[in-house]
Structure 1
Amino acid sequence: MSSTDILMKPLVSVLQMLRNRVISTEELLHRTYTRINETKSLNAFVSVVEKNDNLEFCIKDDRSSILKGIPFAVKDNFSTRNISTTCASNMLRNYVPTYSATVVKKLTDAGGTLMGKTNLDEFAMGVGTVDSIIGPTRNPWQYDFQHPNPDDWYIAGGSSGGSAVAVATGASYFALGSDTGGSVRLPASFCGVVGLKPTYGSLSRHGLISLVNSMDVPGILARCVDDVVFIYNILSGNDPRDSTTVQGKVEKVVIEENPSVKDLVVGIPKQYHGPDVSPEIIDCWKWAADIFSNNGAKVVEVSLPHTQYSIVCYHVLCCGEVASNMARYDGLQYGHRSDGGFTEEMYAKSRNEGFNESVRGRITAGNYFLLRRNYRKYYEKAQKVRRLIQTDIKKVFDKGSGKNSGVDVLLAPVTVSTAPQYKTFAQKTNSYRTVEHDIYTQSANMAGVPAISVPVRLSQAKLPISLQLLASNFNEGTLLRAAKFLENASSFQHPKFDF
């Protein structure tokens, strides 16, 4: 079997091959390192774990472990013991943690093999994975590996673009990302993989370097829904190190090979029919609604009336928390320290050298919103709007008697278009890009509900089109069942890229 065939197989299939000794963990590791090298021009990895270190781990690994040496990757804003964690920023270029994030440790304890840390927008502030100290990550779709053009390629999406590309190309069977306003679902959509943003609190945030504490969640990227379910069941549950995780056990998700949707009520948010959404995405959305309806689900239109304020509300809250979280990087206790004279001079110079323009812009905006004279006008008002957005979504999922209630899942676009070309994307500011591409994703973060991006078909330009499903808090079982149904119905084919 060729490397391409085995590296693009579902995780659950490869685990069976390892159990039956059709392939060894060592051989799988060799093939994965070869793939990482073959796709180096995509710039998906910030750093790669030394091959000999991982070979030693595989030899020691117990073959009865859950993951049996399966290669995986982690976004470079999760702390990893003795492995640099940069957040793609000069501010943390030399940071080597002494511990691993809980979700990373759970995967290595289960026998997974960490291949490396993946690229992101600096401190996860972006939607393209283009603002990184190591340069942008490129989308493998419509990319000429034999004769790459430095100007003619599509963005991977962000901020977890490196993780999405690693999974899409077979350089990793699955990967961790973080999702604050769509940073897992957006790159998953652009790169044609599945991206899960779990319920806030179902996965530990311990060791995930903070961006927006009230919205950040670890997310899972894989090539199929079954693989996402498998990894979610390993990672979910309470963590004593993270007070925001759910108390008690999280129920394990089990879905059938061909799940039924006859008992589901699928909601179509009417406010998501925006004027800027690509006709191809609208057509795909209508097709999916018909598929659910034709297979017994009840499809209804629902209203989320405060959606129109959502992206502006998100921007204010995001910048406010960013300003607070980034204050710790002062060159004295944390982060890059510049050569300077007086304390104030060193402090200013360290932050100017350590943060890029996009990060400094959000800090400045956040500090403005948090000024005493502005706090009630902007930040406090945004918190009130956030509560209205949460209430809208909660009402839709509540099994009440109202016309706009009783929905099991919402079906919506992930973004307004397929992946844009870099040369077009780069002309826009970071804040404008966020407004344009996070418009349909960030509401789930403000409400804390789970959401998933599922690839459905290809556009005329042969780029992936994905759709998004949302469910109520801690209802990942229903969400993933609906996602599996949509995946089966679409029969999306992962390509064998010409490496």
Structure 2
Amino acid sequence: MWGWTLKEVTRALQEGQISPTELCQRCLSLIKKTAFLNAYVTVPEELAMQQAIAAEQRLQRGESTGPLDGVPVAVKDNFSTAGIETTCASNMLKGYIPPFNATVVQRLLDQGAVLMGKTNLDEFAMGSGSIDSIFGPVQNPWGYSEQYRERLIHDQKLEDSNWVIAGGSSGGSAVAVASQTCFASLGSDTGGSTRNPAAHCGIVGFKSSYGLLSRHGLIPLVNSMDVPGIMTRCVDDVSTVLGTLAGHDPKDSTTIQDPFEPFELPDEIDVRNLCVGIPKEYHAPGLSSEALKTWTKAADLFENAGARVVEVSLPHTQYSIVCYHVLCTTEVASNMARFDGLEYGHRSEIKSSTEALYAATRHEGFNDAVRGRILAGNYFLLKQNYDRFFVKAQKVRRLIANDFLKVFGSGIDVLLTPTTLSDAFTYHEFVKEDNRTRSAEEDIFTQSVNLAGLPAVTVPTALSERRLPLSVQFIGQAFCDKQLLTVAKWFEQQMNFPRIDIEGLLNHCTEHDKLHNSVGTV
């Protein structure tokens, strides 16, 4: 089953090549063997087997619920799951067991998906490395490929701090798919938190148009930008999962009102009438020569196939990081205010006064990155600063959204951009700067999409000289998700991106488990 896509495993299940219970057992075994990657924080084995048994019985009766019946999936630990601990990788919510499922989780389960577990993340989804978690950092399986290790040995850099980060904040969900312990996973995407780790882990990461997927049950970071993200091994699988999840939800007033019609992507795709835009502002400082080369080759590929490739301008891109920082932190400050030790979450033992309880609870419950964003957000929301920062940022957000509208209104079908500045960092490289600085750097190509509410997808393209994944990103028009995925599928068909060597990964389990234990004390 190593390397199977969701479509392939569905076919195998329906044809009886493998049973849901056998598939579940194999995935549970692989989760244990790759535990050093730290992708999962909770694995409800008994529940997963019960779901697999139910799927097997449905298949035997010929009552399959659809393409996800019996298929192992994983969910980021900031989606509410009934009866399963949901922590957001924070002390503030440790021990919290929701009484309900998030809408997207419930829709997966209604289609017969088997929940393998909850995945690791940066605390409350604030970060770009998946290293700021109370459960420890997530490690990238590509950092254990034979080719990568050989290069480290050649450069004499094979040391504890040179394991590779997964990207964030949905690093656990990306690693769960990349290490093949599940066939699809859910992340959340506020400024690129699905696309960034997907790019670093060599899988497909999709952020839908805002309003296409319900946010009910997703513990909020930034309500006006949060979108559930989908991670799979190929673009076709994204459309399969999207068809299950998308549509109106009466529990989320921001979802679309019109019925959503699931779609299948065509196998034969013609791009000769396509117009691909290349934003000149995305030639950003810090863009590595390898990422630039990959981006250029992708553009040449479309041009050689008959598509029209033109340079476009998104003039307010330079302000997007600052705009995002102001709006993100202000909404974070608002959303995190509920965790005060009196109503929700962790409660400190210090009870000398209400103020002391409040201060101690938040100090004990939140890490430095979360407290920093709360502090900044409250500063921007002060009466004397409100117009200067928050109102001005909202105006800039409208200008950024208008930039995209003008470009798409000029006849551009999709935009082609890098996803990240480079391939994945090692842990040692990543922690040279603080969380906020890294997030600003790593989100430069992704977060303006969230400001504008547009769909975007990242597709693995090639391996770098260090034998780590490089990807490109496609950005589409609002609610033109099908067109976007169709273009992404055509591009994927032209690539020969290698599948990760799971056997090689498993051959080093014992050695790497020891390495992980030593890294965990860093």
**What interval of TM-score do these two structures reach, taking the shorter chain for normalisation?**
over 0.9
The letter of the residue matching 1:481 is T
Q: Which position in structure 2 is the counterpart of 1:385? A: 396
Secondary structure, aligned partner of 2:299: helix
Q: Deviations over 1:361-396 (max 9, x none)?
A: 000000000000001111110000000000000111
Which residue is equivalent to 1:217?
227
Amino acid in structure 2 at the alignment position of 1:137: V
**Distance in 1, Cα, partners of 2:159 & 2:99:** 40
Specify the alignment match of 2:195 in structure 1.
185
Instruction: Indicate yes or no: 2:316 matched with 1:306.
Output: yes
- Partner of residue 3, structure 1: none
My pick for the range that moved more, 467-476 or 135-144, is: 135-144
Distance 1:409 1:86 in 2: 37
Q: What secondary structure does 1:220 align onto?
A: strand
Query: Is 1:95–2:62 an aligned residue pair?
Result: no
Distance 1:475 1:350 in 2: 44
- Counterpart of 1:136, as a letter, is P
Verify: 1:454 aligned to 2:449, yes or no: no
Residue 139 of structure 2 aligns with an amino acid whose one-letter code is: R
User: Offset at 1:130?
Assistant: 0.3
Instruction: Tell me if structure 2 keeps the 8 A contact 1:7–1:32.
Output: no
Q: Secondary structure at the match of 2:144?
A: coil
Q: Is it true that 1:56 corresponds to 2:66 in the alignment? A: no
1:364-443 paired onto structure 2 within 5 Å: 364-398=375-409, 405-443=410-448
| TM-score for both structures, normalised by structure 2 | 0.92
Rounded to whole Å, the distance in 2 between the matches of 1:165 and 1:457 is 18
Secondary structure class of the residue paired with 1:128: coil
Which AA in structure 2 matches 1:343? T
Residues 26-45 of structure 1 mapped to structure 2, 5 A cutoff: 26-45=21-40
Mean CA deviation greater in 339-348 or 136-145: 136-145
Q: Do 2:145 and 2:501's aligned partners in 1 also have CA atoms closer than 8 Å?
A: no
RMSD (CA atoms): 1.3
Please say which of residues 244-253 and 38-47 is displaced more in the overlay.
Answer: 244-253
Once the two structures are aligned, what percentage of the paired residues are identical?
55
| 2:476 is the counterpart of 1:471 | yes
1:402 corresponds to which residue? none
* Counterpart contact for 1:204–1:236, Cα < 8 Å: yes
1:74-473 equivalences under 5 Å are: 74-143=75-144, 150-340=160-350, 341-398=352-409, 405-473=410-478
**Paired residues of 2:240 and 2:264 also in contact (CA < 8 A):** no
Structure 1: distance between partners of 2:133 and 2:355? 27
- Alignment-mate amino acid for residue 162 of structure 1: G
User: Does the CA contact (< 8 Å) of 1:44 and 1:162 recur in 2?
Assistant: yes
Report deviation, 1:150: 3.3
Mapped to 1, the partners of 2:204 and 2:270 lie a distance apart of 20
Amino acid at match of 2:268: N
Residues in 2 aligned to 1:295 and 1:102: alpha-carbon distance in whole angstroms:
41
CA contact (8 A) 1:7 1:171 kept: no
1:12 aligns with 2:7: yes
CA offsets 1:194-246 (integer angstroms, 9 cap, x no match): 00000000000000000000000000000100111100111110000000001
In 2, distance between residues paired with 1:460 and 1:188?
A: 19
Partner of 2:515: none
Secondary structure in structure 2 of the residue aligned to 1:492 = coil
| Cα drift, residue 296 of structure 1 | 1.6
Q: CA deviation at 1:275?
A: 2.8
- Measure, in 1, the Cα distance between the counterparts of 2:159 and 2:103: 40
SS in 1 for 2:133: coil
Q: Specify the code of the residue in structure 2 equivalent to 1:409.
A: V
Deviations 1:330-379 (A, max 9, x none): 11110100012111110110000000000000000000000000011111
Contact 1:369 1:379 (8 Å CA) reproduced: yes
**Secondary structure of 1:465's match?**
strand
1:42, 1:140 within 8 Å by CA — same for their partners in 2?
yes
TM-fit CA distance, 1:149: 5.3
Corresponding letter in the other structure for 2:448: S
- Preserved CA contact (<8 Å) 1:8 1:169: no
Q: What amino acid is aligned across from residue 93 of structure 2 in structure 1?
A: L
CA distance in 2: counterparts of 1:151 and 1:251, whole angstroms:
47
Consecutive unaligned residues of structure 1, counting only runs of 5 or more, are: 1-5, 399-404
* Whole-angstrom distance in 2 between the partners of 1:299 and 1:74: 37
Post-superposition offset of 1:142: 2.4
Q: Where does structure 2 lack aligned partners over 5 or more consecutive residues?
A: 507-522
The residue number in structure 1 matching 2:520 is none
- Report the secondary structure of 2:92's partner residue: helix
- Report the more deviating stretch, 252-261 or 350-359: 252-261
Q: Give the drift of 1:55.
A: 1.9
CA contact (8 A) 1:368 1:374 kept: yes
Q: Distance in 1 between matches of 2:308 and 2:14?
A: 42
1:53 counterpart letter in structure 2: L
AA at the equivalent of 2:118: K
Residue in structure 2 matched with residue 65 of structure 1 by the alignment = 65
Displaced runs of 4 or more, over 3 A? 144-150
- Asked if structure 2 preserves the Cα contact closer than 8 Å seen for 1:7 and 1:173, the reply is no
Distance between the aligned counterparts of 1:106 and 1:202, measured in 2? 14
**Where does residue 514 of structure 2 map in the other structure?**
none
Amino acid at match of 2:376: A
Higher helix share: 2
SS at 1:300 equivalent: strand
CA–CA separation in structure 1 for the residues paired with 2:51 and 2:144: 34
Structure 1 Cα separation of the partners of residues 296 and 44 of structure 2 = 44
Deviation at 1:144, TM superposition (A): 6.5
After TM superposition, the score normalised by the length of structure 1 is 0.96
Q: What is the alpha-carbon distance in structure 2 between the residues aligned to residue 95 and residue 117 of structure 1? A: 13
